[in-house]
Amino acid sequence: MKKTFLLFVVFLAALSSAQAQFALGLKAGISSSTIDIKNASSNTEQFKEEDNITGFHAGAFARVQLGGFFVQPEGVFSASGGKVEIQEAVSGNKTIEEMGFSHLDVPVLVGYNFMKVARVYAGLVASIMINSDFRDEEVDKYFDSADWGYQIGAGLDISKLTLDVRYERLTRTYADDAANKFDVAGKQIIFSLGYKFIGN
């Protein structure tokens, strides 16, 4: 406990001596997301990635700048998902179904500034499930309440405006009451526009 407190004090002192800068803002945007169903334990159906869907997100971010480096935690509500082709193993019939997710994402990104306006970054994202639907049924109860993934991206700061593009990868495990189980690998390309109302 004493060591943790001492490290915390040293961290605060380092921030103070380095004159760390702080920014707070809002952000929103769109995404292009796909899903790929893997490791299915049921042999009654076969799944194949079919197409992407357009999602959206909105939330807030904070940024602590220390020299050329920064840490940026966010809280973002997101809608994502994708389409899959489902083939019945017995009949061979094929259908296209959409799986959608509503979730609260909490990325914590670490990055570096260069050329005064450009940024590159990467980090982990915790995704908290709010709702999910598949084949016109709500299926969020068959997923874990929270999952982990990662994000990597780049951005620009133009005065108080921020522009970002990033890639996200996150896998969720589906397990229902009928012993059907599979992994849903989600991928997103995310485009964001933000505004810093505190800091630069």
pTM: 0.84
Q: Is 6 part of a structural domain of the chain?
A: no
Q: What is the mean predicted confidence (pLDDT) over 126-141?
A: 92
**Number of separate domains in the chain:** 1
Question: Does 99 score more than 60 pLDDT?
Answer: yes
Q: What is the mean predicted confidence (pLDDT) over 62-67?
A: 94
CATH of the domain at 151: 2.40.160.20
Question: Does 70 score more than 70 pLDDT?
Answer: yes
Count helices and strands in the chain by DSSP H and E runs: 1, 10
Contact predicate 41/179, CB 8 Å: yes
Q: Is 94 part of a structural domain of the chain?
A: yes
Which ranges constitute the DSSP H helices of the chain? Answer: 2-17
Bridge partners, residue 102, by sequence: 79, 131
pLDDT at 14: 54
Q: Is 1 part of a structural domain of the chain?
A: no
Q: Is 10 part of a structural domain of the chain?
A: no
β-pairing, 53-66 with 21-38? antiparallel
Question: Does 108 score more than 60 pLDDT?
Answer: yes
Q: Containing domain of residue 66, as a range? A: 20-198
- Cα angle vertex 30, ends 184, 134, to 5°? 35
Q: Is 13 part of a structural domain of the chain?
A: no
Q: Is 154 part of a structural domain of the chain?
A: yes
pLDDT band (50, 70, 90) for residue 5? very low
Q: Is 3 part of a structural domain of the chain?
A: no
pLDDT band (50, 70, 90) for residue 45? confident
Alpha-carbon distance of 87 to 84, in angstroms, equals 10
Mean pLDDT of the chain, nearest integer: 88
Q: Is 28 part of a structural domain of the chain?
A: yes
